[in-house]
Amino acid sequence: MTHSEEESTALALLSQLSVSPFSQPQNTLSALKRLKHELIGHEQKKELFVRLGIVPPLVRILEGAGNADEVWSNARLEAGIAVGSLAYGGENYISHLFDSQALPPLIASLDPSSSPPKLVLSSLRTLNTILDTSAFSATCPSYTIATALYTPEVLNSLYKILSQQSPAALVQRQISLTASLIAKSCGRYAPDSSDNGGCHSTHQKLLVEAGVLGALSARLGGHIVAEKSIPKNPQNTHGSDTPPPHPPPPAPPGAKLAPILDAISVIIKDSRLRSLEFLFSPSIVAIFPFPTNEPSSPDVPSSSSNKPGEGTVGSTSSINLPQPKLASNPIIQPPNLLITPSAFPPLSAVSVISPTASSHTTEGSVRGIDLEIEESPILPWLISQVRSGDSITRLMAISVLTNLFRVKLVSKKLVQLLILLVLPVLVRLLAEEGKENRINAGVGSVDAETWASWTIQEKAPAILARLVMDSTEMQKAAVDAGAIKKLAAMLKRANELPSSAMNGHQNGYSHDSGHTAEPGSNLEVAHKMKVKEGGLKCLASLALFKDEYRKAIIETGVVPVLVSSMKPLEPIPTPVPQQSTVGQGNPPAVLTAACGAVRALSRSVSILRTSLIDAGIALPLFALLRHDDIEVRIASTAAVCNLVLDFSPMRRPILEAGVLDVLCSHAKSENAALRLNALWALKHLVLEAETEVKKKCFEGLGVDWLLDVIRRDVYGDEDGEDDEMADSEDDDGDDTEGGMEDSIGDLRRMGSGRTGDEEYFDAPEERAKSRARRFPPKATAVMAQLERRERDDSLRRRKEDIALQEQGLDFLRNWICGKDRNLMIDHLFESVGKDRVFEILEEKLKHKRYFKRGEPISEPPPGEIVTSVVYILVHLATGSLPHKKALIQRADLLRTLSALWNHRLPYVRSGLAWVVINLTYHEEHEDIEEHEDIEEHEDIEEVRARAKELIRLGFDKSLESMSQDSELDTRERVKIARHQLNIAGPAD
């Protein structure tokens, strides 16, 4: 058929579909069938039909839901298939679909109660394809889809799909695609959205409120039952009189486990509350009941006394890991453990946390509670899937385990199982081909085998990055398993230019050229970008702590890949011309990951001064400070922190390029993370900097802005709700409030009228009322408190204020440090006022006293703030005689400082000793000769006067109490301080 004949046929079909398609449904259906056969597999015909305007008629037919007869239903189905075929063609066609408003009818057709099953399936496939194809699109269709999906009506439709009980293959495909749609869309916020960055996790919260997490948990339970992994004789073990729920029905043979695990993993990510909701969901508790957390009676044997194979119901020993030879090894025996109290953070606002408290816990914000809950036996079951499932299922099971591990719901002994059994499997998956896995029929012209392999290559590095983050044990195990070499090889392959199918596409994303990409080209680019993003994130996590791992990364030759990964899609104008970087442009997600890798590698001084400077990393990173995407600006600002230190050879070129003005601008941003990173970088920039640079930086921030930062109230909210643990019965009611109410109010009715097996797909109000029945009493109280805290942003804002104030104080600390400290202190006193400076510092050290519900409260200042203030005083004490005199005259401030001798932070205690050392230091004769303007006799008298004043204020007693400090460094500083204090001004 010639081109003119093809165009004539296309015009005839277009005319038939455009003129009165609703009046002659049979003719419309016949035309749609012909159109479908013309489009599928014919890229040139797709381009022709789209150019002639086929999309608007298809959208109108897809919207025509008024006629419910079979012919019209089939017509809508054929129109949906045609739209899906266009979506498979790539981004260019997707943009036409969005321009023609094809998304609303696709979303509307997801309701299984009003749309034919095949149309629901077709729409799910199309939406998944759009998300897969346009993951890094500049037009951001994924954000548009996510916005349309997360509404009460659409979430109700997704819930209905997941709740279907039919074992039919078509229904099971709907369920799998729905789970995949949730996993791909959840958390995709527009760059300018207030939810971007995961601060609020609105999508996850909406999914939980809609009952979607419960429905997914029920699906997972069905797979467990189908595998006959359910313990015998399950019984209610947490002390409730309510009969235990029945296990869910087994999953039919065609059901897929991997998409269910993927969706669950995305929903529970970074939330202990949602993780507990999953672990205590009715279907999971019905299969794996939690043993009682009441103390065992002496007459009742503990599970540890049972013979092998006779573990109590619900204990981890009831799950057999698929390595019987290793099961006898006590090191990796599936443990019957209690979650440690640290798994549930203390929840008060006023108590002092012990020095061994988690670094993630803010001092004075939480109170400890003695809580122990039996570790869920589903964790060993997940490990068994890692050891025996197919590659995709293994990966998704690891993802769920990783997210539970990240929120500290995995006991320390079970962590050893993760290291021994799970992490090596994950590292092996980095090089997995995945040919035996078929999670769907492929996407576009990418076959199912390749798509499965791509899925593993994209997700495995990102999961490994989360698993090893902040854990030296995990990092060592990953490095020993060869993760660094495998990641480097993946990154090098991903950094290669795409196949010839990409000819004519600038940076892989331009659609302006006359050349049409061959099928799969956009998918290939998106795949490579996802691999680069995950690989760079994983290298950054592995390089967090140890220099030897950083050097191992450098030795793989991956630095050129890192540099090319910092090339944006469009050039960024900068004052200094940028050298052309080899390779294609990268979307914001890859740029952000590259900045994270630079930040981690630059923690090594030797690497910073050799490999990174040789690679020319400074100017490309500086350019990203001006990127349009806020996440890129945040990540690049964080990476610059290490590059502007006084020993960095990149400090001078970045400074000459104008980094100071950019950082001062970022420090005043409305984004909290960008403000923090910019002030952090400025803190490093002024350390040992030239006087003019310091003054310019001080002026760039402004005195008023800086004072506003360091004077903010960072104490708890005295008018807020009491943080005491709520009674468990408080959770029986509906406790939803605040801004979420409007969004989720309509979801409350979706569970009505269900009986039998459908009880596992609880509606929100049913879930709320059953929580006390399902959860152990103490866990119920913790859940209630966690839920209130997740709804309340005040704690997050307080942490942000504390972090920003700490950096603001540290900025002043570094600003008055160095050879020009006397000049800088004078400048500070002149700009702010001497008395005002000391008043602010004194205020920062004092407890906040107030009444809360009639009870007197004395809240200590955050430890981070106290540390920063103390070391500002240390530097002031090294100033000139007038500066020391001004400090020694602040009796109230010094008394408050002296009372910190038993502070929980060793840096604070040693800082106290340093203040005494600096105030009582006496320059030797040869030192005095270098300063002709100082008379020896006068200086000695000044030192003695200050020493006597310190003794009068009680510093001698404080130092004596510190002489037996637990920290060696503090004890050594105390020895010097006591020695100088006694020589300069012995007590009368």
pLDDT value, residue 684:
95
Tell me the per-residue pLDDT of 882-936, one tens digit each, with 9 for 90 and over. Answer: 999 999 999 999 999 999 999 999 999 999 999 999 999 887 655 544 554 444 4
> Buried (b) or exposed (e) across 709-742, using 16+ Cβ within 10 A?
bbeeebbbeeeeeebebbebeebeeeebeeeeee
**pLDDT of 800 above 50:** yes
How far apart, in Å, are the Cα atoms of 128 and each of 185, 440, 455?
9, 11, 13
Mean pLDDT is highest, among 412-416, 614-618, 658-662, for 658-662
pLDDT value, residue 742:
32
CA diameter of the chain: 113
Cβ atoms of residues 363 and 860 within 8 Å: yes
pLDDT value, residue 97:
86
How much is the average pLDDT of 208-236? Answer: 82
How far apart, in Å, are the Cα atoms of 150 and each of 23, 80, 145, 192, 278?
35, 22, 9, 17, 20
Query: 């790539």: which residue's tokens?
Result: 90
CA dihedral over 119, 120, 126, 127, signed as positive or negative: positive
Q: DSSP secondary-structure letter at 59?
A: H
User: Of 81-85, 328-332, 426-430, 660-664, which range is least confident?
Assistant: 328-332
Mean pLDDT of all residues belonging to the chain: 78
234: which 2 tokens?
């399950």
φ, ψ for residue 443 (rounded to 5)?
A: -130, 130
pLDDT value, residue 434:
43
Tell me the per-residue pLDDT of 518-555, one tens digit each, with 9 for 90 and over. Answer: 333 567 888 899 999 999 999 999 999 999 999 999 99
As a whole number of Å, the end-to-end CA separation of the chain is: 112
Cβ atoms of residues 362 and 347 within 8 Å: no
How much is the average pLDDT of 280-291? Answer: 82
How much is the average pLDDT of 855-871? Answer: 92
Cβ atoms of residues 165 and 115 within 8 Å: no
Q: Which residues neighbour 310 within 8 Å (Cβ) at sequence distance 6 or greater?
A: none
Question: Between residues 743 and 391, which one has the greater pLDDT?
Answer: 391
Tell me the per-residue pLDDT of 743-774, one tens digit each, with 9 for 90 and over. Answer: 223 333 333 333 333 444 444 445 445 555 55
User: Of 219-233, 315-329, 605-619, 774-788, which range is least confident?
Assistant: 315-329
How much is the average pLDDT of 299-322? Answer: 38
pLDDT value, residue 757:
38
pLDDT value, residue 369:
36
pTM of the full predicted structure? 0.81
Amino acid at 6: E
Domains and CATH numbers, the chain: 1-150 (1.25.10.10), 837-849+857-924+938-984 (1.25.10.10)
User: Of 359-373, 484-498, 702-716, 876-890, which range is least confident?
Assistant: 359-373
> Buried (b) or exposed (e) across 772-808, using 16+ Cβ within 10 A?
bbbbbbbbbbbbbbbbbbbbeeebeebbbbbbbbbbb
Q: DSSP secondary-structure letter at 954?
A: T
Alpha-carbon Rg of the chain, whole angstroms? Answer: 32
Question: Between residues 318 and 379, which one has the greater pLDDT?
Answer: 379
CB atoms closer than 10 angstroms to residue 849: 10
The packing angle between helices 448-468 and 483-494, to 10°, is 130
pLDDT value, residue 75:
86
Question: Between residues 90 and 318, which one has the greater pLDDT?
Answer: 90
> What percent of the chain stands above pLDDT 70?
73
Amino acid at 888: I
Tell me the per-residue pLDDT of 320-374, one tens digit each, with 9 for 90 and over. Answer: 444 433 333 333 333 333 333 333 232 222 222 233 333 333 333 333 333 445 6
Label residue 592 exposed, middle or buried (CB < 10 Å: 0-12, 13-18, 19+).
buried
CB atoms closer than 10 angstroms to residue 434: 23
SS3 content of the chain, % helix, strand, coil (to 5): 60, 0, 35
**pLDDT of 739 above 70:** no
**pLDDT of 735 above 70:** no
**pLDDT of 79 above 90:** no
Secondary structure class of 446 (helix, strand, coil): strand
**What is the rounded distance in angstroms from the CA atom of residue 880 to the CA atom of residue 891?**
19
Cβ atoms of residues 819 and 687 within 8 Å: no
pLDDT value, residue 192:
60
**What is the rounded distance in angstroms from the CA atom of residue 183 to the CA atom of residue 768?**
24
**pLDDT of 421 above 70:** yes
Secondary structure class of 857 (helix, strand, coil): strand
How much is the average pLDDT of 685-696? Answer: 94
pLDDT value, residue 498:
65
Q: Which residues neighbour 797 within 8 Å (Cβ) at sequence distance 6 or greater?
A: none
Question: Between residues 584 and 475, which one has the greater pLDDT?
Answer: 475
pLDDT value, residue 130:
87
**pLDDT of 95 above 50:** yes
The packing angle between helices 472-480 and 483-494, to 10°, is 70
pLDDT value, residue 709:
93
602: which 2 tokens?
């630059």
Secondary structure class of 657 (helix, strand, coil): coil
Strands (DSSP E) found in 463-516? none
Tell me the per-residue pLDDT of 117-150, one tens digit each, with 9 for 90 and over. Answer: 999 999 999 999 888 877 666 556 778 888 899 9
How much is the average pLDDT of 36-59? Answer: 84
**What is the rounded distance in angstroms from the CA atom of residue 46 to the CA atom of residue 10?**
10
**What is the rounded distance in angstroms from the CA atom of residue 524 to the CA atom of residue 887?**
65
**What is the rounded distance in angstroms from the CA atom of residue 780 to the CA atom of residue 788?**
12
Q: Among the residues of 280-388, which ranges form H helices?
A: 282-287, 324-327, 378-388
pLDDT value, residue 357:
34
